Structure formats: C-alpha cells, structure tokens
Amino acid sequence: MQPETEWTVGSLLDWTAQYFVKKGCDSPRLDAEVLLAHSLKLKRIDLYARYNEDIQEDAKAKFRDLVRRRAEGCPVAYLVASKEFYSLPFFVNQDVLIPRPDTECLVDVALRIAKKENWKTILDLGTGSGCIAIALAKSLPLVKIVAVDISPKALVVASKNAIANKVADRVCFVEGDLFTPLEKGLAFDAIVSNPPYIPDSDIKDLDKDVKDYEPRLALSGGGDGFSVFDQILLGAGSRLNAGGHLFIEIGSPQEEPSRARFQAYPQFQLHPTILDGGRNPRVLHATKIVPTP
Ligand code: GLN
C-alpha cells in the first residue's frame, strides 16, 4: 500500500477494487464502494463527490478491517449488516440468509394477484430475515401476515426488520416447524415460502461466501433438496382457503421434479413457473381448486 497520508477516496477505491479482483470477488468495485461508504457513514453515491478527499484515520482503520474480512470471503451484506430487498432496507446477520434479488419475482407476482383478489391473510413459511413477508405487508396495507421460522434467532432479525419497515402491527412472527405452530383450522388466502432447497450433495459446491457464512439451516433441503418442499406441499392444502394461492421458491434445476410432485396433489392447479430476473425458473405457483357444489 502507498504511505498512509496519500489515500483519497478515489485512490483507495481503485486499490481495493484491484485487490478484490485478485481475491476472486464477483463484484469488486461495488464491494469496495459499499464498504468504503459504510466506513465513512456515507451513501455510496456520495463517494464520488468526495473523490479527492483524504480519509480520516478511524474510517481507514474500519475500512481496512472490512476489506480483510471481505477478502476472506465474508459477504458484504453481513459486513455492513444490511441488504436491500424490494427497495426496502433489511438488517441481516449470520442467523439469516441474505435476501436475494432472485426472490423478488415471487413478491412481484404475489402482489399483483393479492391486489386483484383482495387477499386478507398470508402465511410465510421459513421467513428468515422476514424479507418476503415484510415486502408484501408494505405494499398491502390491509393484509395480515403470519410468518413462521424454526430458528428463534432468525425471528429476532425478522421482528427487527418489521419494526424498522413499520409493518410490525400486521406481521405476526411465530416460532416453529412450518405448519406445526399454527392453530387448528387456521387457513390463509396465500402461502409463500423460500424454503431451504439445496441438495446436501451440492452444498460443498456452493460459493465459499455462501457455504462458509450463510446459515446451513436456511440452505439445506436434505438429500434431494426437497425435504422442506415436500412438507410444505403436504400441509398447504388444508391451510389455504378455496382459490388460495401457493408460491414456493425452487432452485432452477428443480423445476421439472418440483412440478412433477404436484401430480400427487390433484386439489392444486399448477400455473406456469415464475422466472426470475435472469430468466431462470424460480417460483412455483399453484391455486387450491374451488370445489364445485
Ligand atoms: N438461492 C440460494 C442460493 O442459491 C438458496 C436459497 C434457498 O435454499 N432457499 O444460495
């Protein structure tokens, strides 16, 4: 590194982006900018107005530590304890999966139908950071959401996010395994879920940033990746109102086997698979058929 006194916002960004390239980061410049903005308590966009300014020693020390941890593989979202999802801010720590842009297509489609059909209630299974439930609640001011997670630590994060996004009065967080904590007879207009779906044999091939840092509980879908999916499918029918909607996120290679699983559930009508921003199959969508009188 150059002598301490020579670092400006611009030169430090350039140096760090180069360093992250060497360390194999996917988005080196962006990571450098987000970490430097965080260290300087600025918005990323404001870095450019200060391009030639020197950096205070305390911010530099903080930045150096973040750069080291990023180079070791820690995801930026954990380093800055936040991630944007559906244009809303979410607090994250290692107790929850980092919200992915891939999941936004689930929220998009669910919102469109919710508004048209005037949903009153939604169940979110495996809420994690709460990102799906909170994004839905934010755009649907009359809807009440029950959000379940088996991890009490994840629920601490999700509750914090509901408060920060001002929807805590309409999202009720419940600890437990999928449907088990729900009162008998309780049914919803929709069920949404991004369950863990990575097959155990694929976990070792995940990026180091994911494998070594994100909670295994939120990733591992058991031997074939479908252990949670299958439990959701088994229980969803009796927890949906007639005509109610089910949305489940899947891994892209799972489209065919996941759709095939619906054949055992004739009470569901399966709709076309929802594609994510990268045009990959991402969310299965089905409705509970309204019984004919
Ligand atoms: N989309 C995540 C990943 O590929 C996995 C999320 C999940 O298992 N629900 O890392």
Residue 22, H or E segment: helix 9-22
- pLDDT of amino acid 127: 98
Q: How far is the CA of 248 from the centre of ligand 1 (A)?
A: 12
Q: How far is the CA of 196 from the centre of ligand 1 (A)?
A: 7
Q: Which residues pair with 151 in a beta bridge?
A: none
| Closest atom, ligand 1, to C-alpha of 221 | 8
The protein residue whose alpha carbon is closest to atom 10 in ligand 1 is 210
* Band of residue 9 on the pLDDT scale cut at 50, 70, 90: very high
Q: Which residues pair with 84 in a beta bridge?
A: 89
Phi-psi label, residue 291: left if phi above 0, alpha if psi -120 to 50, beta otherwise = beta
**Beta strands at 188-193 and 240-249: parallel, antiparallel or unpaired:** parallel
The protein residue whose alpha carbon is closest to atom 9 in ligand 1 is 196
Q: For residue 170, give both structure tokens.
A: 């309409």
Q: What is the mean pLDDT of the chain?
A: 96
Domains in the chain, CATH or no CATH each: 4-72 (1.10.8.10), 83-288 (3.40.50.150)
The protein residue whose alpha carbon is closest to atom 7 in ligand 1 is 196
* Band of residue 1 on the pLDDT scale cut at 50, 70, 90: low
User: What does the pLDDT average to over 222-241?
Assistant: 97
Q: What does the alpha-carbon distance between residue 270 and residue 266 come to, in Å, rounded to a whole number?
A: 9
> Token pair 């508004």 is at which residue?
115
Q: Which of 198, 213, 247, 252 to mutate to test the pocket of ligand 1 (most atoms within 8 A of CB)?
A: 198
> Token pair 């607090």 is at which residue?
91
The H-assigned helical ranges of 122-151 are 131-139
| Closest atom, ligand 1, to C-alpha of 194 | 9
Given a cut of 60, whether residue 4 has pLDDT beyond it is: no
Q: What does the alpha-carbon distance between residue 67 and residue 283 come to, in Å, rounded to a whole number?
A: 35
* Band of residue 164 on the pLDDT scale cut at 50, 70, 90: very high
| Closest atom, ligand 1, to C-alpha of 103 | 1
Residue 169 C-alpha from the chain's centroid: 21
Percent of the chain with pLDDT over 90: 96
- pLDDT of amino acid 292: 74
- pLDDT of amino acid 25: 92
Q: What does the alpha-carbon distance between residue 100 and residue 148 come to, in Å, rounded to a whole number?
A: 19
> Token pair 């994250």 is at which residue?
92
User: What does the pLDDT average to over 276-286?
Assistant: 97
User: What does the pLDDT average to over 254-269?
Assistant: 97
Q: For residue 203, give both structure tokens.
A: 């976990």
Ligand 1 site residues (CB inside 6 A) read: 97, 100, 102, 194-198, 210, 219, 249
Given a cut of 80, whether residue 253 has pLDDT beyond it is: yes
User: What does the pLDDT average to over 73-87?
Assistant: 97
The dihedral built from the CA positions of residue 97, 98, 102 and 106, taken in this order, carries a sign that is positive
